[in-house]
Copies of this chain bind each other. A is one copy, B any other.
Amino acid sequence: MKKIETLYQHGTLAQLVSGLFEGNLSIGELLEHGDTGIGTLSGLDGELMIIKGKVYQFAANGKIRLVNSDEKVPFANIHFQNDQSIGTLANLDFATFKNRIPQKIKTLNLFFAVRLVGLFDQIHTRAIAAQKPPYPTLTDAAAKQKEYLTTDIRGTAIGYFCPDLYSGTGTPGFHLHFLAENQQTGGHLLDFKLNSGELFIQVFTDFNLHLPIEDPLFLKKKFKLQNLLNSIIKAEG
């Protein structure tokens, strides 16, 4: 049975912030928990977009490819798409989107998925290059990210809203990735200017956190919530 009320997350964001980038769940296993989502591959190798059960990687070199089921993720979010249109949007940027959408949902306290399909005047994305052990922190890896600007492009922005309360487990606020309709570009969204598009929302009652119980580096790592909050804002902004 597809659990459409559940957002599934493999890994805790604290791992990435602390430099635990090794993949510890296969794409095949991940896809048992949804058909739509975002994530990254082992070593923070690029940005993943999961749409209709297909997993696309936008790598730091700007190339897109389909990912195999035996490749591994250190972190990903996934759900079974059952979203609802809440209408069309036009002429807005990412900052306006971030302000306006929670007002439509009328709460900041639930996890929800967003899917924005349309024509974008501009998208500004990034991808992090594959890191090699010994891994740096997320902040250091993100400082060397590759950025891409594309204009007049059709595509889909997909991702999630995570309430502030779960900072450290996830990125507080919105975290979206992009895939162009022509599959020529994508990545982690830093900014966009939407020409016009349709917004779909799926609100979750359940958030299922799945932890890498067999990863010795994760088990031994010392995490402190207080120390993580600032690092997360810095790396994911």
Binding site for B on A (CB under 8 A): 6, 12, 14, 106-111, 163-169, 203-211, 213, 218-226, 228-229
Contact = CB atoms under 8 A, between A and B. Distances in A.
A224 B167 CA distance: 10
B208 A213 contact: no
Residue among A6, A204, A225, A228 with max Cβ neighbours from chain B (10 Å): A225
Stoichiometry (number of copies): 2
Contact of A213 (B205, B213, B229): B205
A112 to B, nearest CB: 10
Nearest to A206: B210
A60 to B, nearest CB: 29
A45 to B, nearest CB: 24
Contact of A165 (B12, B108, B220): B12
A206 B211 CA distance: 6
A219 B112 CA distance: 13
